[in-house]
């Protein structure tokens, strides 16, 4: 199916474990983004990528690692999960960093770290 | 830096008109976006303004004043399904920054 998909939709993990959130898009969009959304903070950018093998930090990158070996995939890894990383994570894609159509978001992953 | 401000919550009556304001401070303006987000769902694109003035799209309109760093989203003929958060975002040519969102409750 065309679009942007995230997996898993829900994840519970323990403190200290490594966890990877997946994001896949079928449009061949150049740009992909990871945001987290928390009450009181809104959407905050974690990392973004302008193309395969090009990534850059956003506002809140600490504790996260990304890679982009293929244009369509942009996984986000929490190297050692902490309770403060409990959040809803949204992946998004776009033809550019702005553009008249903005970003298209995946359905999100709700992550709970216990 | 980029700082986007919008009210936290608003309540309006079904059938009425509501205006959600957004102010921003930035350089390198490259467009101002509005997104709608229903509870438990992803944000979805509503509108984009890059020039001053009003853009109308059905029941929804968005206004921009670049000189004032100000935008608003106007929702007409409110319906219960319009109960959602509305996110103002932009406005630079770096990755989009989002306001914290305005939670709109539509009551009967």
Q: Which tens digits make up the pLDDT trace of B45-65?
A: 999 998 999 999 999 999 999
Taking the CA atoms of B33, A48, A27 and B29 in sequence, report the sign of the dihedral they define.
positive
Write down the pLDDT at residue B41.
Answer: 96
For the CA atoms of A79, A6, B6, B94, the dihedral, rounded to the nearest 10 degrees, stands at: 70
A58–B95: do the CB atoms touch at under 8 Å? yes
User: Which of A74, A15, A11 lies closest to A45, judged by CA?
Assistant: A74
Q: Are A78 and A63 in contact (CB under 8 A)?
A: yes
Write down the pLDDT at residue B6.
Answer: 96
Is the CB of residue A99 less than 8 Å away from at least one CB of chain B? Answer: yes
Rounded distance between C-alpha atoms, residue B73 and residue B46, angstroms:
10
Rounded distance between C-alpha atoms, residue B60 and residue B77, angstroms:
9
Q: Which ranges constitute the DSSP H helices of A1-114?
A: none
Rounded distance between C-alpha atoms, residue A64 and residue A86, angstroms:
13
Among all residues of chain A, which has the CA nearest to that of B38? A107
Q: Are A103 and B46 in contact (CB under 8 A)?
A: no
Reduce the DSSP state of residue B81 to 3 states and report it: helix
Among all residues of chain B, which has the CA nearest to that of A38? B100
Tokens encoding A41: 């903070």
Write down the pLDDT at residue B92.
Answer: 64
A93: left (phi over 0), alpha (psi -120 to 50) or beta: beta
**Across residues A5-19, what is the average pLDDT?**
98
Query: How far away is chain B from the Cα of A68, in angstroms, using its nearest Cα?
Result: 17
Is the CB of residue A74 less than 8 Å away from at least one CB of chain B? Answer: no
Q: Where residue A99 falls among pLDDT bands split at 50, 70, 90?
A: low
∠ CA B11-B78-B23 to the nearest 5 degrees?
60
Q: Where residue A43 falls among pLDDT bands split at 50, 70, 90?
A: very high
B100–A45: do the CB atoms touch at under 8 Å? no
Q: Please count the residues of chain B.
A: 108
Tell me the CB-side half-sphere exposure of residue A96, using CA atoms within 13 A: 10
Write down the pLDDT at residue A77.
Answer: 98
pLDDT of residue A55 exceeding 70: yes
For the CA atoms of B94, B95, B99, B102, the dihedral, rounded to the nearest 10 degrees, stands at: 130
Taking the CA atoms of A96, A100, A101 and A103 in sequence, report the sign of the dihedral they define.
positive
Q: Where residue B79 falls among pLDDT bands split at 50, 70, 90?
A: very high
Which residue reads 């350089």 in tokens? B27
Residue A99, judged by CB atoms within 10 A of its CB (0-12, 13-18, 19+), counts as middle
Q: Where residue B25 falls among pLDDT bands split at 50, 70, 90?
A: confident
Residues of B with CB under 8 A from a CB of A: 30-31, 33, 35, 41-45, 48, 50, 87, 89-90, 92-101
B30, B90, B101 ranked by CB distance to A42: nearest = B101
Query: How far away is chain B from the Cα of A18, in angstroms, using its nearest Cα?
Result: 25
Rounded distance between C-alpha atoms, residue A84 and residue A9, angstroms:
19
């Amino acid at each position: 199916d065309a679009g942007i998909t995230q997996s898993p939709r829900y994840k519970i993990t323990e403190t200290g474990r490594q966890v990877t959130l997946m994001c896949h898009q079928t449009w061949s969009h150049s740009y992909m983004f990871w945001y987290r959304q928390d009450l009181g903070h809104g959407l905050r950018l974690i990392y973004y990528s302008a193309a395969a093998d090009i990534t850059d930090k956003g506002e809140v990158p600490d504790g996260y690692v990304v890679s982009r070996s293929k244009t369509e995939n942009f996984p986000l890894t929490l190297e050692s999960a902490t309770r403060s990383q409990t959040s809803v994570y949204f992946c998004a894609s776009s033809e550019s960093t702005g553009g008249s159509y903005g970003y298209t978001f995946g359905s999100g992953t709700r992550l709970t770290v216990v | 830096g980029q700082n986007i401000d919008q009210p936290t919550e608003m309540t309006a009556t079904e059938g009425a008109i509501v205006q959600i304001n957004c102010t921003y401070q930035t350089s390198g303006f490259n467009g101002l976006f509005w997104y709608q987000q229903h509870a438990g769902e992803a944000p979805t694109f509503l509108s984009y303004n890059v020039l001053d003035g009003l853009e109308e799209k059905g029941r929804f309109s968005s206004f921009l004043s670049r000189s004032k760093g100000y935008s608003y989203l106007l929702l007409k003929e409110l319906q219960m399904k319009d109960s959602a958060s509305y996110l103002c975002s932009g406005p630079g040519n770096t990755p989009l920054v989002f306001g914290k969102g305005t939670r709109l409750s539509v009551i009967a």
